[in-house]
A and B are shown apart, each in its own frame.
Chain A
Amino acid sequence: MEISLLLNTSMLLTLLIILTPILMPLMTMTPCPPTSITHYVKTAFLTSLIPTTLFMYSGVESITSNWEWKFIQNFKIPISLKMDLYSTTFLSIALFVTWSILQFALWYMASEPHITKFFSYLLTFLAMMLLLTSANNMFLLFIGWEGVGIMSFLLIGWWYARAEANTAALQAILYNRIGDIGLILSLAWLASTLNTWEIQQTIHHTQTPTLPLLGLILAATGKSAQFGLHPWLPAAMEGPTPVSALLHSSTMVVAGIFLLIRTHPMLANNQTALTLCLCLGALSTLFAATCALTQNDIKKIIAFSTSSQLGLMMVTIGLNLPQLAFLHISTHAFFKAMLFLCSGSIIHNLNGEQDIRKMGGLQNTLPITTTCLTIGNLALMGTPFLAGFYSKDLIIENLNTSYLNSWALLTTLLATSFTATYSLRLTIMVQTGSTRSPSISPINENNPTILNPIIRLAIGSVMAGLIISSLITPSKTPPMTMPFTTKMAAILVTAMGAILALELSNMTRTLTTPKQNPYSNFSVSLGYFNPLIHRLSSTNLLNSGQKIATQLIDLSWYKKIGPEGLANLQQTSSKMSTSIHKGLIKSYLSTFALTILIIMATL
């Protein structure tokens, strides 16, 4: 009894600590400085360790219902927060990552005049994300969902004087909105069919109808940048690096996958939806990995890498393994945030240079940053016993030993090898070789404000996989026996990708000019997706809208069926009879032909 009380109290205390820097300035009219916001988040992280350790020690879960919105007679929407494995673990991890990112942002955005507003935006985003993850009913989840979408828009367009930033923010909103349609569809279906928005009440004993599941998958496609609604994620790199690290690597983009994890009981017995998730995830992961191979902007490579890992998470959902997907979310947060922070440090030190073709030899001038970059890349590749290994290798093993679409299996393995290729390419071009950046930029990483977050996340990248996977009781038994090749499949394809990258990197040293071929063109232009879809779909929509407005409505109702049509009809008949009405005797005499007609008829 005391444990659950302690769990609830500490969870609510954590959320209150997060909300204080947002609400206090509204009441006291004094702004909260960024350093104290960082301290708030640090305190919240330490407080959030209490419910997490309580959960891992005793497995206690709880649902807290606060105020109830009596919507109509029998449809009540309580503000209920659920504390279970996903909620408590994600809380701690999100707060840890946010603390590191905020500390980093103190250095990165130091010359920003509106830094307090930036930090409050990040904090509001965090509050919305935590609301999303701890929501017990779909209504609260939807509030959090929309909240993170809005904050993403505001943060991507932070430097709003830049046209590309505004375009990217708008793109993010539009693609997320298409996904929101799916979510609202599911909400409406749930409200009308099951009369509830509580997730516990949506479990079917027989197969769940496919329609709400399609809506949920569409929502996840929009928010988690699966193939089809993916262009906003690379474009979102227009925002500052702390925004990319927080939103578009660890927290916001996993909201779609998190939705599927939460509503997993509905998905579990519908094989069509599961297969759709599997194939969609496989396609996304391969497509993003292919695009990442030829990118030259360091942030875009990491963005495509995020997109590829999100596809992998979707594949895991399609395998009916929500807990493993959640494990991958948790470990991915650590090393992806660290990769972004390292890239932010590199960019600032090179005075705004983001092109990896103009970086090189940074291992000597930025040792700690580049070491952590290497650790992050190795964890991403799934190097044994780093953080990524515990989730990624398990996923590949499950993939190899289940009864599923073999095309999805092959594409996922291919994407895994591509992951190794582009990660190693990034490492080699940024860190090794001769320096290709101008020599005047003063490269200096002696500031503990940068180093501490990066080192903290590096320790997390190394140990988080082991800690989390050993403290969570798995809900499904992992496959224990498999052939040797299957067990080594992930490492083998990763090694093949790494060897390929090493071979390709020889080309830069020997100055061979690469020839253009269709495959490299496909990769560089991101699969031709952006110009095709952005122009074609909007042109078709606007054209059909114009046709409906002018030709269907105006033309038919006013001209053909309505007033002018009647006038046309009258005009035709009056034109025909006007020759008789002129009053000429000549035409009257021609009526005598009627006599002849009658004579003919009587013959």
Chain B
Amino acid sequence: MPFLHLSFYSTFTMSCLGLAFHRTHLISALLCLESMMLSMYIALSTWPVENQATSSTTIPLLMLAFSACEAGTGLAMLVASSRTHGSDHLHNLNLLQC
């Protein structure tokens, strides 16, 4: 596999694992989401260059816009959880109501 492909593939994997297994703070999960988005951006950017399909060059920008919205939503939830639970510790978030 070419080195570039390996790099964003491994970045995506590591970030996804970082999203799945994490320690204390919600913000670290959001950070992993951002890095997932970053690796996907680089992948989407290099794909039309390699395949010479110029009409797909605008797709990374669309993805960037949506990820910005998503980051904003995430930060809003972080603020909401710190207002209700007092901090953004992940182990406070519980589906059970007792």
Contacts and interface: CB of A to CB of B under 8 A. Distances in A.
B3 interface: no
Which interface class (under 10, 10 to 19, 20 to 34, 35 or more) fits A? Answer: 10 to 19
B37 interface: no
Interface string B41-65: 0000000000000000000000000
A599 interface: yes
A368 to B, nearest CB: 107
Given A591-B20, A593-B21, A586 B13 contact: no
Contact of A596 (B16, B91, B93): B16
A27 interface: no
Contact of B95 (A583, A589, A591, A592): A583
**Which among A586, A589, A591 has the highest number of chain B CB atoms within 10 Å?**
A586
A26 interface: no
B84 interface: no
Contacts of B17: 593, 596
Interface in B71-98: 90-91, 93-96
A595 B95 contact: no
Given A592-B16, A596-B13, A584 B93 contact: yes
Interface in A549-603: 582-586, 589-593, 595-596, 599-600
A582 B16 contact: no
B29 interface: yes
B40 interface: no
A596 B20 contact: yes
Contacts of A596: 13, 16-17, 20
B19 A586 contact: no
B16 A584 contact: no
A592 B33 CA distance: 12
Given A589-B29, A596-B13, A599-B13, A584 B19 contact: no
Nearest to B97: A583
B30 to A, nearest CB: 12
19 contacts: A582-B94, A583-B94, A583-B95, A584-B93, A584-B94, A585-B90, A585-B93, A585-B94, A585-B95, A589-B19, A589-B90, A590-B21, A591-B20, A593-B16, A593-B20, A593-B21, A596-B13, A596-B16, A599-B12
Given A590-B20, A593-B17, 11 more contacts: A582-B96, A584-B91, A584-B95, A585-B95, A589-B29, A590-B21, A591-B20, A593-B16, A593-B21, A595-B16, A599-B12
Interface of A: 582-586, 589-593, 595-596, 599-600
Interface of B: 12-13, 16-17, 19-22, 29, 90-91, 93-96
